Structure 1
């Protein structure tokens, strides 16, 4: 009996463990989507790490002004001892002869501590300033990535919303056509409609089903893109809480001096301005290579030699020195001159890029404002069009039921209503997308 119970428990355990758990659906507003993206987006994480690396570059640049301390130790074994040469007259040889002597022990130990302190190096200050500018530029680059992430997440969120609304719109159209098919069959049974009308209604219903299937698939695709942009796992289930709507009372006022605002706020502009200053420092840094370098140096050293390894019998005499070391560059094959010219050309490139970027920003501001205003005008027009199309569909449907209008007239009225609603949704989507893009262009993110 007990083995049977154990088998049943084991079977239940396997069934439970093998059964996939229901994924918990995460409600998601656009604001929450942006917050999650700022935490989990990998591009932003890489940019943040680059900023942290730039902080270490500043620390490295400052280290060149600090003393350098190094310790060294060396052991040497001489199978053949070192040779020294003396005049031959010291041992009774001729004046032109040399006498050779092997000196020292078979084992030699050498150890010491060396210190070097820069006193004057023209490039240290420029290097520190260049590293600080690079740090600021990396911060602006991170802000640029952050703005791109926020914009991409908002656009991806809006893509999901409009795809869901288009699906809902087509489902409404399917419901109207299904009802029209039922009405056609009922009228056919009463002898008030032709078989052709019923066939047309059936074809209209069946033509909508592939579109709905395609939109269902498109909803999943846009959700996947949104989750990838946010940095979420693809298996996570999300439920969008916002809706694709247009608040007429929340329409922003016309922009005043939008180009000036964009230039003042855009991280791309700040980054290029800092890059241009950085390139100027690079010129100073390369020019400093022509200047002499003065350092204070010192050494404390101990050495010993013997023919055995009895270290306790060794003598360890100390020697030391302190002094100044001056290095004066004279000629290095025009390398310094070439590096200076490269830095000058790089600065000219950055100046041209900055000028070009400002013109690009000017065009982006103008285009974004134009797109937003055009979408707002389309919204106002499509609102009226939808109302007229709804009225026209109701009138045509009633006339068709009374036998006054044809089935073709009803199909045209239903198609016009669906198209009008679709155009209205597209206008709202275009307005919201243009508003998101305008915020990025103006540097408000």
Structure 2
């Protein structure tokens, strides 16, 4: 029966997978749907998500440091006891006072029962305060790391998606050009054989065809690798994707001034904020080892009971003790062998290291922001220039082909015009992709990259 249920469950999963594949093949994947697949499949993203959940528990850990701790212990078993007191003074009503009195007590193999309940409530501790602050800062740090991980996955999704898209369109363009070059080679060879074309035309066409064949093989290999990387990220093969139209005009993105972007990056970049948290954590580590802040004050309480019942050298005996106490306990470290002072020096140098790293990260983020801001501007201009070059290259290729038919242009000139057109098309494709990616990178540098940016990036696609 269980095996039958398992087969039914497996069949259900297979049907769901087939239905999903059918839907995916009917409807092209866009950037947003690719992101949703990657969220479920990417192992690094799942690891970052688990780390973020673990980090959030540190807030509760920080709170628990200031809550009371209660412990209980119990003992049951066999035990023995022997005590002797000599030279004691004894006084009792009706018996007078006696000196040099001796008391003896002995239990051999008696029954032992004992329990103790203890309570400790921290009231004052600079080291504990530093630990609780460090835990809260670590929790905030994990949130920033999670934000950074989400943004990095968005960038990775876009890069993997466009790697496949560019590789496919590049392969398609090279296949078209290779077909044209192969056709030209066959025509020139046929005309050479009938004496209508010189042998150089045949050699030139053959060289062009072989060169394009090599480029096409490299493009197909790149497409295969891009598709494999896409599958690793999303868990499915890249079926039908949207296309990036070459001739469609691109609206220039409207950006704020570079100074505004730099200011936002320094204040909002996750890497900068994470480094700042590290500085604060290092500061608390210094404070926890300050000698004048080391004493601790705790409210403590204890309730205990111990009973040993049995017989010994002097007959039956019973030892029983019940204790309780409530009070304040002060602990002051006087000498720890130099451990605390050494730890404080270590914490001081760690703080200096964190400060220097924070400054270095700020400089790197500013450089990255400056580069991304200029890259967006330049990419937009490159797209405009290459779209004009595309129109000119198309006209040149058409006129050269016509001139070849009329005998005014050679086969090499026609093939060169086709090569130039393909190069411009590939350059324009890469420029459009660069424009999209640079905009997303710029948004990530100010901590603003989210799913809405994927929706906006989809507008470039068809």
**How big is the shift at 1:143?**
0.9
Counterpart among 260, 267, 277 of residue 274 in structure 1: 277
Contact 1:392 1:413 in 2 (8 A): yes
Matched ranges for 1:228-239 at <5 A: 228=232, 230=233, 232-233=234-235, 236-239=236-239
Q: What secondary structure is seen at the aligned counterpart in 2 of 1:300? A: strand
Q: Distance in 1 between matches of 2:177 and 2:344?
A: 70
Corresponding residue for residue 41 of structure 1: 42
What do the CA deviations read for 1:35-84 (whole angstroms, capped 9, x no partner)?
33334333232233223223322222322322222221223435xx4433
Q: Distance in 2 between matches of 1:85 and 1:302?
A: 20
Q: Distance in 2 between matches of 1:64 and 1:268?
A: 29
Matched ranges for 1:302-321 at <5 A: 302-306=306-310, 319-321=322-324
Q: Distance in 2 between matches of 1:115 and 1:441?
A: 50
What do the CA deviations read for 1:396-432 (whole angstroms, capped 9, x no partner)?
2222223333222223222222222222223223323
When residues 387 and 187 of structure 1 are mapped into structure 2, their CA distance, relative to the original with a 3 A threshold, is farther
TM-score, normalising length: structure 1: 0.81
Structure 1 residues not aligned, in runs of 5+: 1-16
Q: Distance in 1 between matches of 2:333 and 2:296?
A: 6
Corresponding residue for residue 13 of structure 1: none
1:72 aligns with 2:76: no
Matched ranges for 1:207-218 at <5 A: 207-218=211-222
**How big is the shift at 1:199?**
5.0
Contact 2:266 2:362 in 1 (8 A): yes
Corresponding residue for residue 32 of structure 1: 33
Counterpart among 319, 323, 326 of residue 323 in structure 1: 326
Q: What secondary structure is seen at the aligned counterpart in 1 of 2:298? A: strand
What do the CA deviations read for 1:280-322 (whole angstroms, capped 9, x no partner)?
22333333762232332211324233369xxxx9989561211
**How big is the shift at 1:142?**
1.1
Q: What secondary structure is seen at the aligned counterpart in 2 of 1:329? A: coil
Matched ranges for 1:100-139 at <5 A: 102-139=106-143
Q: What secondary structure is seen at the aligned counterpart in 2 of 1:110? A: strand
Number of corresponding residues: 411
Q: What secondary structure is seen at the aligned counterpart in 2 of 1:192? A: coil
1:87 aligns with 2:86: yes
Q: What secondary structure is seen at the aligned counterpart in 2 of 1:193? A: coil
Corresponding residue for residue 10 of structure 1: none
1:438 aligns with 2:438: no
Structure 2 residues not aligned, in runs of 5+: 1-13, 90-98, 450-462
Contact 1:382 1:423 in 2 (8 A): yes
Contact 1:44 1:142 in 2 (8 A): no
When residues 157 and 202 of structure 1 are mapped into structure 2, their CA distance, relative to the original with a 3 A threshold, is same
Contact 2:106 2:311 in 1 (8 A): no
Corresponding residue for residue 452 of structure 2: none
Corresponding residue for residue 149 of structure 1: 153
Q: Distance in 1 between matches of 2:76 and 2:273?
A: 56
When residues 316 and 174 of structure 1 are mapped into structure 2, their CA distance, relative to the original with a 3 A threshold, is farther
**How big is the shift at 1:167?**
0.5
Q: Distance in 1 between matches of 2:20 and 2:175?
A: 26
Contact 1:57 1:131 in 2 (8 A): yes
Q: What secondary structure is seen at the aligned counterpart in 2 of 1:444? A: coil
Counterpart among 259, 263, 276 of residue 260 in structure 1: 263
Contact 1:286 1:340 in 2 (8 A): yes
Aligned-CA RMSD value: 3.4
Corresponding residue for residue 284 of structure 1: 287
Contact 2:161 2:230 in 1 (8 A): yes
Q: Distance in 2 between matches of 1:384 and 1:122?
A: 69
Q: What secondary structure is seen at the aligned counterpart in 1 of 2:52? A: helix
Q: What secondary structure is seen at the aligned counterpart in 2 of 1:250? A: coil
